[in-house]
Amino acid sequence: MFAQVAGIYPWPYDGTWAPESAALVVVDMQRDFVDPTGWLGQIGADTAPLSGIVPAVAELIALARAAGIFIVYTVEAHRPDLSDLPANKRWRAERLGHPIGAQGPLGRHLVQGEAGAAIVPTLAPSAGAPVVAKPGKSAFLGSDFDQILRRRGIRNLILAGVTTDGAVQCTLRDANDRGYECLIVTDATASDSLSHHDDQIHTLALAGGHYGSIARLADLRVALASKVAA
């Protein structure tokens, strides 16, 4: 058992926590977003804040592995035939000049199995770690994400990855509605816009943290170093 994490409220809310009831969710740390030659960079967004958190996410993964915490990775990626791509999402990317499914430097943009859909090499999943390909922002929509968590009896989620104002917050919101007790690690999440990151964290902190608690990597490091009796 671990001590509570010192976030905006002590997490989890109900006291000490067991590694087997928790999962680290590494959201969309794929080359399409993090690598400057990927889709997000192609449409002109600043990927530097995203690649900037790779060391923090790497440490979080190492901490989770050492503690025996289950790790799930997500990627935003569509089927090669794009049968899971809503018409309006397709249209918006076309309008930006870089259609989903079109060839880019990292293969077809946001398509499963392409180089851009791979997790950045520094954070490569261990053999057997699940990677959930999702067609939307939330990991719960159109995927087996919830099934994987529930089968293991996971109730506490630690969220990291990109982007704070995109897939991270959408997954957090859905997880919270489903009763998962969530912790967002602010310095292991990022947006292409620093202000959108800060503003998103600010709104998540409203009402004492109505989607879960919010902490820094250092807070998690302390909690994971403090084994306590069950």
Instruction: Catalog residues that contact another protein under the rule CB under 8 A.
Output: 9, 12-14, 43, 45, 86-89, 91-93, 95-96, 135-138, 141-142, 165-166, 170, 173-174, 176-179, 181, 193, 196, 199-200, 202-203, 206-212
Residue 189: CB minimum distance to another protein, A:
14
Residue 209: CB minimum distance to another protein, A:
7
Residue 17: CB minimum distance to another protein, A:
12
Q: In a 10 Å sphere around its CB, with 0-12 CB exposed, 13-18 middle and 19+ buried, how is residue 115 labelled?
A: middle
Chain-centroid distance of CA 135 in Å reads: 14
Would you say 98 or 152 has its CB closer to another protein?
A: 98
Residue 128: CB minimum distance to another protein, A:
28
50 within 8 A of 37, measured Cβ to Cβ = no
Would you say 210 or 227 has its CB closer to another protein?
A: 210
Would you say 55 or 86 has its CB closer to another protein?
A: 86
Cβ count near 148 (within 10 Å): 16
Would you say 37 or 176 has its CB closer to another protein?
A: 176
Residue 108: CB minimum distance to another protein, A:
19
Written as six digits, the tokens of 14 are 């109900």
Residues 6+ apart with CB under 8 A from 116: 30, 31, 32, 35, 38, 39, 104, 106, 107, 108, 109, 110
Would you say 15 or 52 has its CB closer to another protein?
A: 15
The dihedral through the CA atoms of 84, 89, 95, 98 has a sign that is negative
CA 62/CA 93 separation, integer angstroms:
35
